Amino acid sequence: MADLSSARQAPLLDLPDAIRLLPPAARFTLRGLAPVMTAAGAALGLSMSALACRSDTHGQRAALWMGPDEQLILVPVTDGGAVVAQLREALGALPHSLVDVSHRQLALEVSGPTAQTLLNAGCPLDLHPSAFPIGMCTRTVLGKADIVLWRTGPDSFHVEVWRSFADYVARFLAEAARELA
């Protein structure tokens, strides 16, 4: 069997100061109807929002609305096993899907006074705080890569990107940062 341990390691990315690679996280896609989201939220201490494109955080745990029946759950790697156990117990016989997607993607933080401008170099969304407030999240594109974009602060964004596109996204943002300088 092939050794896949290197697939879980963070790639070496050359990033400007406004962009940093976030620590590894456990990521789960949870799909189900409202009773599933209510039970999961209670188990994890998170509000699994029915409001479109909204997130909720509790400590280092986060739930991001990805669709009317889908949440992306982000937790520290060390909590991954506990989250699975908590959700198994809470969801019992409720029909749902819980998939560990930790290996699929990684996260970047884009922050600072130019964060919005850097992202808008390749993201078509209006990222002004009045249109994309703190706590808002959505699937979108950056250049030619699919991403999940989450505003975590006034000048701070969390970008989830598939590992296979991480180098492209990092280079795209680095080029945008050079052009702004």
How many domains does the chain contain in total?
1
Q: Is residue 39 part of a domain?
A: yes
**Number of other residues whose CB lies within 10 A of the CB of residue 169:** 24
Angle (nearest 5°) at CA 46 between 77 and 156: 70
pTM: 0.90
Q: Is residue 43 part of a domain?
A: yes
pLDDT tens across the length of the chain (181 residues): 334 344 445 555 566 678 999 999 999 999 999 999 999 999 999 998 789 999 999 999 999 999 999 999 999 999 999 999 999 999 999 999 999 999 999 999 999 999 999 999 999 999 999 999 999 999 999 999 999 999 999 999 999 999 999 999 999 999 998 888 7
Report which of 65, 29, 69, 25 is spatially closest to residue 163, judged by C-alpha positions: 25
Q: Is residue 114 part of a domain?
A: yes
Q: Is residue 143 part of a domain?
A: yes
Q: Is residue 1 part of a domain?
A: no
Q: Are 80 and 87 in contact (CB under 8 A)?
A: no
Q: Is residue 3 part of a domain?
A: no
Q: Is residue 52 part of a domain?
A: yes
What span, in angstroms and rounded, lies between the C-alpha atoms of 18 and 134? 18
Q: Are 93 and 25 in contact (CB under 8 A)?
A: no
Q: In terms of residue numbers, what domain contains 91?
A: 15-180
- Whichever domain contains 75, its CATH number is 3.30.1360.120
